[in-house]
Amino acid sequence: MIGFSMTPQLYQELFSYLDPHKKGYINLIDWKQSFGKFNHHDQCLKELKADLASTFANYDSAYKFLLSFNSGSGPVIT
């Protein structure tokens, strides 16, 4: 949990969320139910979209910003 300001109460809430049957421990089934449907690619795309939406006023300015990274030697966004 590096990078998060986790207090004991937040750890308790997280554990409680991961332990739905309140057994006092997390087994592999609990872990898979919590994280088994996690898709790293989809999550990155959602975060990128949210960041672009909160940073730029409109699609055109975001598009121009992304085009500024094209050095001419790689693929072009069209």
Percent of the chain surpassing pLDDT 70: 88
Burial of 40 (0-12, 13-18, 19+ CB in 10 A): exposed
Cβ atoms within 10 Å, residue 5: 6
Cβ atoms within 10 Å, residue 8: 7
Q: Give 58-75 as a 3 state SS string.
A: CHHHHHHHHHCCCCCCCC
Higher-pLDDT residue of 70 and 52 is 52
Its pTM stands at 0.46
- Backbone dihedral angles phi then psi of residue 68, each to the nearest 5 degrees: -65, -15
What is the per-residue pLDDT for 17?
Answer: 86
